[in-house]
Structure 1
């Protein structure tokens, strides 16, 4: 057996559903005085699965908190069987986990649980994102009055927006504080949870619909500052410019925005 063929056979053994190796592959190996081939290969098989599940326990600790050890172990084993690790870095192992939850579980359980998983994955993405060049309040002081109306911004690279229809933020917070599970509940109205990294620390907060719409308008749709004020005038009338400045100052203070290139 060539080395590459042996390596592929070993990989197939690690990814198989059972720890029992095929007879042809096992016959290429020699056991030791205290460990036979079958037992040794089973140890490797089980250790590989355990390592992958350890990564998922770390990345989705709130899902683990909700389900408990046994249900989480069964769910993550099914996940890695369905979506084996295909990247050289285990950092990306959980990328499909929220979508898998929707595929694998009944709708009544999968929707809130997948949302919680998306929230946890957003923290991973925010933590690892590029730094970018966030606007600062000092930058705004230097902005000329003539430049304000045409000011355009975009989200900093680390900013993640997670639509929340359930109390996922409360469940995530309870898991971190080691409080009793608060139960899953649908929100009266959907909210947007922002997750981002600023000054090497991950932050999060929920946005009310009006602020979320304004942030999307400026940072995603491409409104300039004058257009933001015009949109807010429908609700805030003469107070629109003050509300626009208030939100813009907060977004910049939090490190959410970059200057959009002209």
Structure 2
């Protein structure tokens, strides 16, 4: 067993570092020598990792083109070899990689697209959880609303995006010609989540809604959420505005639990 363990470790080292120290442990023949056999395994491993990146980042692939995506993938694989048991998690640092490495760091849309596409995978694979609706909110005594806090569904993610990466990604997914890259004057808040039909949904948000939602996500209660939007809505109308937002969040299935201060 010890020899098997050592063989596995040597083979893993070869795949990750191209170390040929195990050449003498592989049997070759007159058709294929030991090193060539190892290289065939190594190529298959590398191709599988590239396939995983292509599956996760079709929008990034579209923006870069085939040759540049292949080049970026090679550099990424060398910089961040897979450390997970499941290939599903490979590619988790692509947004950071695009933002920190030339020449790709010079095009900020690339990091944004990678961030969006990785977030979509997290939304899709998030844990199951119940959702609450308007009828659950209606059962909460109005006098306790001020202290009410909320637990978000695990699939919910928030992004702030300067580029039209959502529009590009949507057309890529439909196998249609995507729009030209376009950068806005300021970042647009976006919300991503998964509905009960297992479809990934996303939409943009007004600034006051984004601030309110972020306050909720940080554990703020109804009163503090209302206070968070006073820059945009007067104090008298802020609770009504938040109630309208909350109704939409409930109907969209974004909230898993209503937490009252008297819960045991």
Matches within 5 A, 1:35-184: 35-106=32-103, 107-109=105-107, 111-184=108-181
How far, CA to CA, are the matches of 2:97 and 2:87 in structure 1? 17
Moved more, 155-164 or 35-44: 35-44
What CA deviation, in whole Å up to 9, does each residue of 1:196-244 have, x standing for no partner? 1120221111112111011112221x33223333444553334333322
**CA RMSD, Structure 1 to Structure 2 (Å):** 2.1
Aligned partners of 1:233 and 1:239 also within 8 Å: no
Q: CA contact under 8 A between 1:134 and 1:259: conserved in structure 2?
A: no
Q: Given the two structures, how large is their TM-score scaled by the length of structure 1? A: 0.89
Distance 2:226 2:252 in 1: 21
Residue 259 (structure 1) aligned with residue 258 (structure 2): yes
* Residue 188 (structure 2) pairs with residue 187 (structure 1): no
Alpha carbons 2:134, 2:250 under 8 Å: kept: yes
Which runs of 5 or more residues in structure 1 are unaligned? none
**Counterpart position of 1:240:** 238
Q: Is the 8 A contact 2:59 2:113 kept in 1?
A: yes
Cα distance in structure 2, aligned partners of 1:217 and 1:100: 30
Q: Give the count of matched residue pairs.
A: 256
> Does the aligned pair in 1 maintain the 2:212–2:226 contact within 8 Å?
no
Rate the CA distance shift 1:232–1:79 in 2: closer, same or farther, 3 A.
closer
Pick closer, same or farther for the CA change 1:25–1:225 going to 2, 3 Å.
Answer: closer
Return the TM-score normalized by structure 2.
0.88
Q: What does residue 210 of structure 1 align with?
A: 208
Structure 2 vs 1, CA of residues 27 and 228 (structure 1 numbering), >3 Å: closer, same or farther? closer
Out of 225, 230, 235, which is 1:228 matched to?
A: 225
For 1:86 and 1:179, the matched residues in 2 are separated by 35
Rounded to whole Å, the distance in 2 between the matches of 1:118 and 1:234 is: 29
- Specify every segment of 5 or more residues in structure 2 that has no aligned partner in the other structure, as ranges: none
1:11 aligns with 2:12: yes
Return the alpha-carbon distance in structure 2 between the equivalents of residues 120 and 260 of structure 1.
Answer: 32
Q: Tell me the SS of whatever aligns to 1:236.
A: coil
State how far apart, in whole Å, the 1-side matches of 2:242 and 2:157 are. 21
Residue pair 1:66, 1:181 contacting (<8 A) in 2 also: no
